[in-house]
Amino acid sequence: MDTQQLIKNQVTANPVVLYMKGSPKFPQCGFSSLAVQILQACGVQNLTAIDVLQDPAIREGIKQYANWPTIPQLYIHGEFVGGADIMRSLYESGELQQMLENPVA
């Protein structure tokens, strides 16, 4: 399976996927840490976190998959949401909580 197909499978098979540097318990950058904190504040229990530092193909492939140059990247119900700054804006407006509660139709 090629990297793009693997990523597609990951984001569609799991309700909430965060591509990050490190793990939720040990984030390896400030933006990944912020992303995890936001998801925890939203009460996310079913987070699938993928450490891009463990797999160079995923690290580069995820940037191509969403046409988004930075990590972390959040996917909810298979849809790309954005990085840490977008997550913060959506959280502050209440939109992120709604996205997490309501599956994409």
Please answer whether residues 20 and 54 qualify as being in contact, where contact means their C-beta atoms are separated by less than 8 angstroms: no
* Packing angle of the helix pair 3-13, 56-65 (nearest 10 deg): 70
CA distance 82 to 95: 13
Please answer whether residues 80 and 66 qualify as being in contact, where contact means their C-beta atoms are separated by less than 8 angstroms: yes
Residue with tokens 């399976």: 1
Q: Is 42 annotated as a binding residue?
A: no
Nearest residue to 82 (alpha-carbon basis) of 95, 46, 27 = 95
Beta bridge partners of residue 75, listed in sequence order? 17, 80
Show binding-site residues: 29
Show binding-site residues for [2Fe-2S] cluster: 29
